Amino acid sequence: MRYVMLLEATQPPTPPPAGLMEAIMKLGEEATAAGALIDNAGLLPSAAGARVTVTGGDLTVTDGPFTETKEMISYAVYEVRSKEEAVEWCSRFMKVHRDLWPEWTGSCRILQVMEF
């Protein structure tokens, strides 16, 4: 089963600590070696994006930035055996943030990819 994980965060009051990226890279290497992590990348702020909406038959394009308090900042695609395994990988990623950057606030959506 494939899952897309979408990381959202608010702008923290402090810069990321030095060891955070190292811990994230180590976890990514572990997930890749396990055959679970397929793809991941950071995302530019919503100011660089757009939203296309269809309402009542009308198509509207709105340029960012968007007014949400949290920005979508990265994504990852995992190939795992179960939703529980996807939650476990995501929880490990979030724990790295919690443990190394206490001021950071964010959430991660885990969505299963529909496969035919």
CATH number at residue 8: 3.30.70.1060
Q: Is the pLDDT of residue 116 over 80?
A: yes
pTM (2 d.p.): 0.88
* pLDDT of the residue at 88: 98
- Maximal C-alpha separation, the chain: 50
51-71 pLDDT, tens digit per residue, is 999 999 999 999 999 887 788
**Total residue count of the chain as it appears in this document:** 116
**Domain range for residue 30?**
2-12+19-112
User: C-alpha distances in angstroms, 71 versus 34, 47, 66?
Assistant: 29, 10, 9
6 — pLDDT class (breaks 50, 70, 90): very high
% of residues, the chain, pLDDT over 70: 100
* pLDDT of the residue at 68: 76
The pair of structure tokens assigned to 45 is 């702020």
Number of domains in the chain: 1
Average pLDDT score over residue span 102-108: 93
* pLDDT of the residue at 70: 84
